[in-house]
């Protein structure tokens, strides 16, 4: 564990907290993409299958990972519940039209071609990594459709992007300190994912400089 990874994970937790805070305080999920949340649910549930096989108390790191994995899975499920049940009437279904089945299919094909080992777990893991790298797209697409972006929604995306950026630093750090060399899959997809966020950052910072509300082109 290094400071970059810990910082990244904490930003990830903050982003989830912001998301739930936005929904709970405004009693609305307007501007949020249910499709992105569903993709994250798929990502977490295909990546964290090792929860069933790893002893949480094996080491401090597995304990930490277990807690975080359960947190991500449960908060993701709760967010979907809020959007689909409790605040369903505020959900912007008309604009949230990104076709996620194509993303899922593409991630599945890529995972079948590129994986670290030919096992079900490794292929599902690769699938989750591919899918995570594009999971934010429906959310960005929705923001583009509706134009103006609420502050808290942009903070949510900003935190997610920060989490990905810190993970890249984490990988550079581990490359040199632990000589981790075989993580090309996570590195490649993580970089693509970060670039998608960088595009959002650009407009976010632009709107900040002009002191205006964020508008995506």
Q: What residue ranges bind other proteins (CB under 8 A)?
A: 5, 9, 12, 49-50, 53-54, 58, 61-62, 65, 68-69, 72, 116-117, 121-122, 125, 167, 170, 180, 182-183, 186
Closest approach of other proteins to the CB of residue 19, in Å = 17
Closest approach of other proteins to the CB of residue 116, in Å = 6
Of residues 9 and 96, the one with the C-beta less far from other proteins: 9
Of residues 117 and 209, the one with the C-beta less far from other proteins: 117
CA distance 57 to 12: 23
Greatest Cα pair distance, the chain, in angstroms, is: 51
* Cβ atoms < 10 Å from Cβ of 193: 24
Closest approach of other proteins to the CB of residue 93, in Å = 30
Closest approach of other proteins to the CB of residue 212, in Å = 35
Return left, alpha or beta for 55; rule: phi > 0 is left, psi -120 to 50 is alpha, else beta: beta
CA distance 105 to 109: 6
Contact 172, 149 (CB under 8 A): no
Of residues 49 and 196, the one with the C-beta less far from other proteins: 49
């Amino acid at each position: 564990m290094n400071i970059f990874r810990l910082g990244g994970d904490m930003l990830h937790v903050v982003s989830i907290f912001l998301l739930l805070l936005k929904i709970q305080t405004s009693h609305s999920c307007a501007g949020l993409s249910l499709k992105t949340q569903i993709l994250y649910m798929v990502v977490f549930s295909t990546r964290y299958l090792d929860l069933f096989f790893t002893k949480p108390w094996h080491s401090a790191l597995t304990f930490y990972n277990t807690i975080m994995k359960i947190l991500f899975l449960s908060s993701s499920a709760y967010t979907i519940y809020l959007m689909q049940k409790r605040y369903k009437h505020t959900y912007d279904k008309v604009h949230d039209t990104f076709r996620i089945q194509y993303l899922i299919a593409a991630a599945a094909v890529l995972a079948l071609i590129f994986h670290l080992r030919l096992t079900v777990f490794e292929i599902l893991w690769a699938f989750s990594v591919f899918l995570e790298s594009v999971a934010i797209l429906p959310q960005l697409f929705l923001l583009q459709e509706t134009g103006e972006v609420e502050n808290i929604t942009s903070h949510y995306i900003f935190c997610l992007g920060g989490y990905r950026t810190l993970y890249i630093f984490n990988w550079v750090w581990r490359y040199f300190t632990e000589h981790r060399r075989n993580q090309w899959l996570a590195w490649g997809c993580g970089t693509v994912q970060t670039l998608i966020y960088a595009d959002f950052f650009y407009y976010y910072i632009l709107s900040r400089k002009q002191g205006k509300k964020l508008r995506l082109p």
